[in-house]
Amino acid sequence: MTRFLVNTLFDGERWLKHQVVEIEGQRIKSVSPRADHDNGIEVDKLVPGFIDVHVNGGGGALFNHEPSLASLNTMIQVHAQYGTVAMMPTLISDDFSIMSAAHKVINRAIEGDMPGILGIHYEGPYLNPVRKGVHDEGKLRSPTEDKVASLLSLPESGKLMVTLAPEQVPADFVSWLVAQDAIVCIGHSAATYEEAMAAVNSGARGFTHLFNAMSGLTSREPGVVGAALQTGHDTWCGLIADGHHVHPAVMKVALAAKGSERVMLVTDAIQSVGSDASEMALLGKKVIRHQGKVTTEDGTLAGSDLDMASAVRNAVKLIGLDEASALQMASLRPAEFLGLDKEFGRIQAGYRASLVALDDDLFVQQTWIDGEIAYQAETVQV
């Protein structure tokens, strides 16, 4: 059994002082007030680990380029440095053969209990070419039901996300995917407000990288953004809080409209995160990394160079959120979105021991995934 002696604890809902967190195996056994005689590992600030539902790569590895267990392991190791304890590896629009290979690898990872792998996120290929972003237009297509079906079966614990443009698929496709236990998100879409809301009413519950690659909000046409910001529906918005994808003022407007309870921080990170490379290939295109932004040579954003800890800090500094709300947007909110809020997002008895120790400036000092140390800053003494 491992015991953490915590000076400041954020349990996912409230701040507590001087707590003892006991870990047994992969789970939290108990959380209780600290006594003077307690022994254990001293931790200054402990928070629930971050969940990234949209991450393409890291440490030089891009899941599309090599859909393998080695790539997944690299992604987990790299992003653990930034507080990510669980992720949905994301496959950008690609050929069926690559999608099939990725599906098989994710199944192997889940069946083998690879720490930190929750499932798979197919970002495409059922997207609108006019909102394709960096996606290869030659890879975009309409769904073929028998091929799609072969990509949907995951082990019982696995989660499946599909980002699509509702105007590019048959009318009953969203409801069919939902019936297959897929979490359907709207993205890379030029849909009208009515088309987007029809998808929501059919079960779509997410909006991929809010504001980016989707029809905008105007006075007479609310578009996909207008649908995303509606309240009263069981939907969440992913937000890339890097200061490049969305202006801070626009992020504030979105949070005022939607509420932080239905917004989750995502990275959309490519292989640049955790790498020193200034130039790299992304699905056959040259990508340039400069001052926290990754773009193609023509200036098109190509995913991001963002990590989850930086997203949390940006939510505080750029948007003006309190730390608790920012931390929830990185942990509890994505857990709720995935239906895993009884496993992640809180530091309570029975939850996974997937935790992050932060300093006062919200930089990661240590990360634990399922009770095992996954990252430790060189300056931390144990």
| Average pLDDT over every residue of 1-23 | 97
Rg (CA), the chain: 20
Report residue 36's pLDDT band, with 50, 70 and 90 as the boundaries: confident
* Structure token pair of residue 204: 């779509």
Q: C-alpha distances in angstroms, 20 versus 10, 16, 30, 31?
A: 12, 11, 8, 6
pLDDT at residue 262 tops 60: yes
- Quick check: 304 pLDDT over 80? yes
What number is the average pLDDT over the span 251-270? 98
Which domains are present in the chain?
2-47+347-376 (2.30.40.10), 50-338 (3.20.20.140)
Q: What gap in Å lies between CA 70 and CA 350, rounded to an integer?
A: 30
Task: Select from 262, 185, 202 the least CA-distant residue to 230.
Answer: 262
Are 6 and 34 contacting, i.e. CB atoms less than 8 angstroms apart? yes
Whether cis (ω within 30° of 0) applies to the bond prior to 125 is yes
Residue 127 to residue 123: CA distance in whole angstroms: 8
268 catalytic? Reply is yes
- Mean pLDDT score, 178-182: 97
Which tokens is 46 given? 């402990």
Residue 380 banded pLDDT, cuts 50, 70, 90: low
Cα distances from 355 to residues 23, 35, 109, 194, 263, in angstroms, run 11, 22, 21, 41, 21
**Of the candidates 220, 228, 223, the residue with the CA atom closest to the CA atom of residue 254:** 228
Query: Among 11, 52, 242, 268, which one carries the catalytic annotation?
Result: 268
Q: How many CB atoms are located within 10 Å of the residue 172 CB?
A: 10
pLDDT band of 37, cuts 50, 70, 90: confident
pLDDT digits (tens, 9 = 90+) for 119-178: 999 999 999 999 999 999 999 999 987 899 999 999 999 999 999 999 999 999 999 999
Other beta carbons less than 10 A from residue 65's beta carbon: 18
Q: Are 131 and 213 in contact (CB under 8 A)?
A: yes
- The type of residue at 70 is A
Closest CA to 348 of 95, 56, 3, 28: 28
